[in-house]
Structure 1
């Protein structure tokens, strides 16, 4: 058994994930019943990632602050700036693409029920985000509220700066232990992705997506532009080096997993592992990556703006340049609060639609269509968001600067 495990590990995660992608697609397409059965592997994998992520963030952040030495440099501010710049560029790209390739949503007048409730104002979005900061710490861990987790981990970490060396050593040992647990979970990623792909192909077959092909093309095209053009330009401006080796590595080792888990929270352990592999500053990435899963939402900004403008075009609403620019700003700010709202980016669409006086019942139909195409839209959005967390953290690290 030991020899078999060693042989499995020697192959490497990336080749095994590629094999899992191909096998999963074949099984889901040829044998749908088997593909649905394999879905349990994906559920277990995603469940394990989601379960370990909150405690991982809490312990790593607390350990980093507790053991941080005076004068040791942390690079959170430049990472935050990159997050904000990247999200606004994504929102602006979505607005421009929606004008260049105007899209009308088929079936917008159909009556479709959406159970979740959407925030009505930007103030409500920001209030939800701020209230998450002061949430009960136990509830924050239970509900994977990363703003609350970060807040309490930072506060407790600073309080433990005065603790005895034995206490600090114990916290450091906990950090090492939870890191090993994450490595074990990530090592079985190919089996999880095999199950996720097989069940997805078996359930959807992607037939229902054909009628929304143009809308999906604009959404995914914008995300691809940000991932392969805009983000590399931002990284080059920071590092003065060829950004593509780092960009491709982040997309390959973080984006692929995020695409199939469709959860930025579940991908936090994957990103932590990648940041460690890249040799980044632990004091920085232990905070910037979980924070990025909360506020670095370029993909969400694209979704909000493209879907809103598609609704406006469908209804024949004339959108001026000024209102489109305002939409980009609102979309950026709203996207940063997306994780603090049940339903994520899709449920922020009615807020953006209100800018053009689009009725709420029509806006909620757009949300429903978003759920229909979510098998592609949400996957691509999560892949962009999550891989960019590591990318910008690395770009702000002196290791990658000229």
Structure 2
């Protein structure tokens, strides 16, 4: 049963939800809608804690690091993440509306017009709003990094472990049920075909964007070192396929490290940067999150505005720091931003999670393969500056 991973469960949930939604009576849909309502409330409650649990220890650890190598590595990783986000925005915002065409007619913001409501509601108000959690996290993370002792840092790291366990043992196991309920509801309302067709278009576009980003990263690495970018990318390809299978940046570190050293980057730099980049460099995940969010907004018939996505992309690179090593960790870290900056509601978040997890392994593979290119660039700059 353990080998039946999250992605297969999500696929089964979608298929079962679609098929059953076509034949079950309304009361069954209402029961599942009730579960979805409670689960969405719980997600809203836990999101501020996810932000605190991820950001505070992540910033504190980076802040306690010292030296030029850390600064160069962090700056290059963040720049790569930003570039990935804006490439995804400009391509997706221009391409998806043309490919999707008239499919953006589903209005998830008006459940009474489309989704069946639950039998009752059980609100679970969060203890703080998203922006409060973000500001608190930055203050504590930066503050702890300036302290000599480790008491607060250890406390927040233990808090982070609690949040990771909540995600691993509560949220992740219940996600397939939540997604099953959403797709059953959509099938019952007769709109699921439109949503699934959008899913297919977004999925193919994301994979293409991942490959474009890798080519850009290795072109940059090849330019600064005078080496063939395609040969460098070929050398790092074992890391890509390892991550594709493990769906974990952390589990792929030994392979990424070995292959990065084969590119000619020094052992000193690769030993430092590869584990660091596994935590802070998320170009593939950023492409996926930006593209998926645009797809969900289009399904909902909403406008795609650059002014909205600029702060969203800048914040993604920070909020995903130290995202847990579980499938879908990056999207969990981004839930607060999706809600506050893009206006996602419970149904939209459910679709976002399903769409993200469907290609999570490809995003992770892009992250770790790109780590090799960044290590090459850092190695070059550390020698010349």
Q: What TM-score does the superposition give when structure 1 sets the normalisation length?
A: 0.53
Give the equivalent residue in structure 2 for 1:288.
Answer: 273
Deviation at 1:91, TM superposition (A): 0.4
5+ unaligned residues in a row in structure 2: which ranges? 1-64, 109-113, 119-124, 165-194
Deviation at 1:356, TM superposition (A): 5.2
Match of 2:230 in 1: 244
* Cα deviation digits, residues 175-216 of structure 1 (max 9, x gap): xxxxxxxxxxxxxxxxxxxxxxxxxxxxxxxxx987721010
Of residues 58, 75, 91 in structure 2, which corresponds to 1:81? 75
- Is 1:223 equivalent to 2:210 in the alignment? yes
Distance in structure 2 (CA, Å) of the matches to 1:293 and 1:105: 36
Q: Distance in 1 between matches of 2:314 and 2:261?
A: 34
- Please say if 1:100 is aligned against 2:86: no
Task: Give the conservation status (yes or no) of the 8 Å contact 2:284–2:366.
Answer: yes
Mapped partners of 1:278, 1:137: distance in 2:
37
Query: In 1, distance between residues paired with 2:307 and 2:156?
Result: 42
Post-superposition CA distance 1:301-336 (Å, at most 9, x none):
112211222222222222333223233223333334
**Structure 1 partner of 2:244:** 259
> Match of 1:319?
304
Change (3 A) 1:220 1:255: same
In the TM superposition, 1:1-400 aligns within 5 A as 75-102=69-96, 121=130, 124=133, 127=137, 130=141, 134-135=153-154, 212-228=199-215, 230-250=216-236, 252-339=237-324, 343-355=328-340, 358-370=343-355, 374-375=357-358, 377-398=359-380
TM-fit CA distance, 1:339: 3.9
Pair 1:309–1:274, CA change in 2 (3 A): same
Distance 2:132 2:199 in 1: 32
Q: CA separation of 1:320/1:280 partners in 2, compared to 1, >3 Å: closer, same or farther? A: closer
Q: Name the counterpart of 1:167.
A: none
Q: 1:191 aligns to what?
A: none
Cα distance in 2 for partners of 1:137, 1:313 equals: 38
| Alignment gaps of 5+ in structure 1 | 1-64, 66-72, 146-207
Equivalenced residues, count: 261
Distance 1:112 1:215 in 2: 28
Moved more, 271-280 or 214-223: 271-280
1:345 Cα deviation after fit: 1.7
Q: Distance in 1 between matches of 2:319 and 2:212?
A: 21
Over 3 Å counting, the alpha-carbon distance change for 1:315 and 1:209 in structure 2 is closer
- Structure 1 residue 276, shift from structure 2 partner: 3.8
Deviations 1:362-389 (A, max 9, x none): 3322244236xx34x1111011101111
Is 1:106–1:212's contact at 8 Å kept on the other side of the alignment? no
Deviation per residue, 1:2-61 (Å, 9 max, x gap)? xxxxxxxxxxxxxxxxxxxxxxxxxxxxxxxxxxxxxxxxxxxxxxxxxxxxxxxxxxxx
The answer (yes or no) to whether the contact 1:312–1:358 under 8 Å persists in 2 is: no
Aligned-partner Cα distance in 1 for 2:117–2:230: 43
Aligned match of 2:180: none
CA displacement at 1:258 relative to structure 2: 0.7
